[in-house]
């Protein structure tokens, strides 16, 4: 009888951490590459749209100095912003990024999203979606 109660408690504990499937929303990884120094503006756009997690990495362009001189590009430093965001908010992010790129001629970049089709661990999902 004591063994039965222990199993019952374990089952209850496991169910305690499960989310209702209707609350699970699909998320995507949105990658944006902009000129160095513009990353903070992009981060603000994603924060306003409710991005769950963001990572910034510095990068370098691949053009050689001779080609940059011909094109009039002085610096090839880039910022790569990786954001995790709910699929339903991607249109808003794209609209805001498009407006950001149109505001100033020097605002240049590229952005694209990759849907996340699987994620291992409910705790990881809860962390990424602020459901803890």
pLDDT digits 0-9 by tens, 53-81: 899 999 887 777 788 788 777 777 889 99
| Tokens representing residue 96 in the block | 């805001």
Domains of the chain (ranges plus CATH)?
24-128 (3.30.70.120)
Which of 55, 48, 3, 9 minimizes the C-alpha distance to 31? 55
Query: What is the rounded CA–CA span in Å between residue 30 and residue 93?
Result: 9
- For the chain, what percent of residues have pLDDT higher than 90? 28
Per-residue pLDDT, averaged over 37-42, amounts to 91
Task: Judge whether 34 and 42 are in contact, CB under 8 Å.
Answer: yes
Q: Note whether 115 and 52 are within 8 A (CB).
A: no
Which residue stretches of 17-130 are H helix? 39-48, 65-71, 90-103, 122-128
- Where are the extended beta strands (E) located within the chain? 27-35, 53-60, 77-86, 109-115
Tell me, what's the pLDDT at 96?
Answer: 92
Q: What is the pLDDT of residue 19?
A: 57
Say what angle helices 39-48 and 90-103 make with each other, to 10 degrees: 150
H/E element, 5:
helix 2-16
């Amino acid at each position: 009888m004591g063994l039965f109660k222990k199993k019952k408690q374990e089952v209850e504990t496991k169910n305690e951490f499960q989310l209702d499937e209707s609350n699970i929303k699909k998320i995507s990884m949105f990658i944006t590459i902009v000129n160095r120094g513009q990353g903070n503006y992009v981060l603000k756009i994603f924060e306003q749209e409710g991005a769950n997690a963001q990572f910034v990495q510095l990068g370098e362009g691949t053009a050689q100095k001779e080609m940059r001189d011909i094109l009039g590009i002085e610096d090839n430093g880039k910022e790569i912003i990786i954001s995790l965001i709910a699929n339903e908010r991607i249109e808003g992010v794209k609209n805001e990024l498009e407006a950001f790129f149109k505001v100033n001629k020097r605002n240049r970049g590229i952005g694209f999203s990759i849907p996340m089709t699987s994620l291992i661990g409910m705790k990881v999902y809860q962390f990424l979606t602020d459901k803890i």
